[in-house]
Amino acid sequence: MTVLKPVLLISCGALAKEVVHLIDHNDWQAFVLECLPANLHNKPKLIPDLMRSKIRAAKKSQKYDHILVLYGDCGTGGMLDAVLEEEQVERIPGAHCYEFFATPPQFNDLVEQEIGSFYLTDYLIRFFDRLIIKGLGIDRHPELKDMYFANYKRVVYLAQTDDPALQKKAKAAADQLGLEYVLHKTRYGDLERFMSAHAKAGDTWLN
């Protein structure tokens, strides 16, 4: 008798809320989610080795039929893709979550409109002070704000939800950085499409 096993999703912790929402909303029973820490957003060089360890632990456990990675390159300079090729694990296409939330054509349009755009997602808005202001040391050294953001013209909030409270916080973040504010509603973009494509096969044999 064949034992049916779930699909493991290894996600950036910054996507956890969105991934859980999509799994629950669509009743995608094939998936099990594990995350790497969201604060790797500021330490991308650590991602490849931590991902390798997570993948190898999952393979050793023999609990999963398949492993998928919900990460862009995320500043690893191709090192993450080298690990995934070595481990023969597929990831969602795209350089970063901004691209796969907005989808490549729309993201490219945003870049063409203004190359000096600083992008924020729902997650980054919720934790803006911790990740951006404190994470970059601006709270301790306010002069760093001008150093980090001198070449930026605007904040583009790529919104996964239609939440007035988050939009208000995004506008306040743009004001704090002294930048123009732009709201661009993306929903879940290619993240939902990628998960849906893999869920269809998995849910068929798990149900």
Are 64 and 55 within 8 A, CB to CB? Answer: no
Residue 2 in domain? no
Residue 22: C-alpha distances to residues 41, 94, 192 (Å)? 22, 19, 7
How many domains are contained in the chain? 2
Q: Do 111 and 124 fall into the same domain? A: yes
Q: Do 12 and 82 fall into the same domain? A: yes
> Which string of b and e fits 112-126 if b means at least 16 CB within 10 Å?
eeeeebbbbbbbbbb
Residue-level pLDDT at 207: 42
Q: Do 56 and 131 fall into the same domain? A: no
Q: Do 86 and 29 fall into the same domain? A: yes
Q: Do 59 and 23 fall into the same domain? A: yes
The residue ranges of the chain whose pLDDT is under 70 are: 1-3, 200-207
Give the model confidence (pLDDT) of 165-195 as tens digits.
999 999 999 999 999 999 999 999 999 999 9
Residue 33 in domain? yes
Q: Do 85 and 108 fall into the same domain? A: no
Residue-level pLDDT at 42: 81
Domain residues for 119?
104-185
> Which string of b and e fits 11-39 if b means at least 16 CB within 10 Å?
bbbbbbebbeebbeeeebebbebebbebe
Q: Do 201 and 148 fall into the same domain? A: no
Q: Do 79 and 114 fall into the same domain? A: no
pTM of the full structure: 0.90
Residue 1 in domain? no
User: What's the CA angle centered on 94, arms 206 and 17, to 5 degrees?
Assistant: 55
Residue-level pLDDT at 202: 52
Q: Do 20 and 36 fall into the same domain? A: yes
Q: What are phi and psi of 12, to 5 degrees?
A: -60, 135
Residue in the structure block whose two tokens are 């050294």: 141
Q: Do 27 and 54 fall into the same domain? A: yes
**Residue 63 is part of a domain; what is its CATH number?**
3.40.50
Residue-level pLDDT at 206: 44
Q: Do 74 and 118 fall into the same domain? A: no
Give the model confidence (pLDDT) of 20-50 as tens digits.
999 999 999 999 999 999 988 888 999 999 9
Q: Do 77 and 115 fall into the same domain? A: no
